[in-house]
Amino acid sequence: MKIGILGGGQLGRMFIQEALKYDDEFYVLDPNPDCSCAGISHFTKGDFNDFEDVLNFGKDKDVLTVEIEHVNVDALEKLENQGVKIIPNPEIIKTIQQKILQKTFYKKHEIPSPEFQIIQNKHELDFPLPFVQKLNSGGYDGKGVQMIFSEKDLQNLWDLPSVVEKLVNIEKELSVIVAKNESGEIKIFPVTEMVADPKLNLLDFNICPAEISQNTQNQIDEICRKFVAAADSPGLFAIELFLDKSGKVWVNETAPRLHNSGHQSQEGNANSQFEQFYRVLKNFPLADVDALGFSGMLNLVGGENSIGIVKYEGLESVLKIPKTYVHLYGKKETKPGRKMGHINVLANSREELLEKLLRVKSLIKVKNQDKKSEKTEISK
């Protein structure tokens, strides 16, 4: 089967790595010939936001999917009309692309998400402080989101179509991945939890299973069921959630694709999100996704002030730690904050897991190779 993927980043790469054990051909469309997927797929250079590029790329594929939601949906609709199977369906991709449509979708389908107002420009604002402003489109990884706490902050309000949303008093940030195949089978992954490192105040570990009550789990199961029913599409979806201090679960946002918060499933669950996604695309029976113990993930992001050809300092020390798994994304160059890879860790308890994650974090650094400093090392 010819499987086409719009986007050639790490999500596509890890999907292909997993799915290569089956007999299919993988095609990737991405503007960057050095992207993570280029070396391991049939690669086409092109823009997944461009109508013609997507149309040309997709027309001879048996199934076409996305590893990023910011793609040309008009082309996907046209391809669908021409008989190409698109997973997930273009309609839900379009809904998720735009925060305004996404929030309206939650409201319409009674999926709990924080109260909000849609504004086309700053003059339409009629919402009590404090709130979060989220741009309708163009936001990614925290960009396009800002907190407005005070009258003074109102000066910074973006004069663009956006959603302003009530601030949730967050107890925990959670994430859940749910998959549905064309036959209608549904599987929900164990919930994962973002853990803040109290010393560094960074949100950077994702751990599984989340420490949550049965009541919280029930709310999440209900959200997943409502979401896939409303989306009315096969696919693998990541739902980012807030558990508030009163015990209520709210949907923050959804991705219609593989997700960073599911990476620990590679070694931490009976089957990973990548295996599950493959089964969705093929309409195979969905995989069991039980957690095999305590697992967690640390993102490897480019260090501050490091720009250039990447080096992973401390990699060998990390590899000496049992049940620790390194995944690098094939990106040659690092820059501050760029996601370069991740490390999964397994443990027998939550305490051991956090201790191991902190140890790994302290051992490894993503830096750029520096000819000058190498020379000084040698001359010392």
Q: Does 132 bind ligand ADP (CB under 6 A)?
A: yes
Smaller CB separation from ligand ADP, 133 or 324:
133
Question: Measured between alpha carbons, how far is 339 from 10 in angstroms, rounded to an integer?
Answer: 9
Among 141, 151, 304, 377, binds ligand ADP (CB under 6 A): 141
Site map for ligand ADP, 7-26, x if CB under 6 A?
--------------------
Q: How far is the CB of 133 from ligand ADP (least distance, A)?
A: 10
Q: How far is the CB of 285 from ligand ADP (least distance, A)?
A: 32
Preceding omega of 209 cis (within 30 degrees of 0): yes
Q: Which two tokens stand for residue 321?
A: 């730690």
Residues whose CB falls within 8 Å of the CB of residue 287, separated by 6 or more in sequence, listed in order: 187, 270, 271, 275, 276, 279
Among 40, 170, 326, 328, binds ligand ADP (CB under 6 A): 170
Size of the chain in residues: 380
Smaller CB separation from ligand ADP, 80 or 240:
240
Q: Does 69 bind ligand ADP (CB under 6 A)?
A: no
Question: Measured between alpha carbons, how far is 262 from 251 in angstroms, rounded to an integer?
Answer: 17
Q: Does 145 bind ligand ADP (CB under 6 A)?
A: yes
State the number of CA atoms in the 13 A half-sphere of 182 facing the CB: 12
Q: Does 30 bind ligand ADP (CB under 6 A)?
A: no
Q: How far is the CB of 261 from ligand ADP (least distance, A)?
A: 11
Among 167, 230, 291, 321, binds ligand ADP (CB under 6 A): 167
Q: Is 296 exposed, middle or buried (0-12, 13-18, 19+ CB in 10 A)?
A: buried
Among 18, 30, 53, 173, binds ligand ADP (CB under 6 A): 173
The arrangement of strands across the sheet holding 85-86 comes to 42-45, 25-30, 2-6, 63-66, 85-86
Q: Does 118 bind ligand ADP (CB under 6 A)?
A: no
Q: Which two tokens stand for residue 216?
A: 């919280």
Per CB under 6 A, contacts with ligand ADP among 76-115 are 114
Q: What letter represents residue 185's amino acid?
A: E
Question: Measured between alpha carbons, how far is 71 from 280 in angstroms, rounded to an integer?
Answer: 20
Residues whose CB falls within 8 Å of the CB of residue 177, separated by 6 or more in sequence, listed in order: 188, 189, 236, 237, 238, 239, 259, 261, 262, 265, 273, 276
Per CB under 6 A, contacts with ligand ADP among 243-272 are 252-253
* Number of residues engaging ligand ADP in binding (CB under 6 A): 17
CB 303 within 8 A of CB 334: yes
Stretch that binds ligand ADP, among 66-74, 141-149, 294-302, 343-351 (CB under 6 A): 141-149
Smaller CB separation from ligand ADP, 2 or 245:
245
State the number of CA atoms in the 13 A half-sphere of 298 facing the CB: 25
Stretch that binds ligand ADP, among 44-52, 117-125, 142-150, 274-282 (CB under 6 A): 142-150
Smaller CB separation from ligand ADP, 75 or 210:
210
Stretch that binds ligand ADP, among 10-18, 21-29, 160-168, 369-377 (CB under 6 A): 160-168
Q: Which two tokens stand for residue 128?
A: 């009590």
Q: Which residue is nearest to ligand ADP (CB)?
A: 168
Rule CB under 6 A: which residues touch ligand ADP?
114, 132, 134, 139-143, 145, 165, 167-168, 170, 173, 240, 252-253
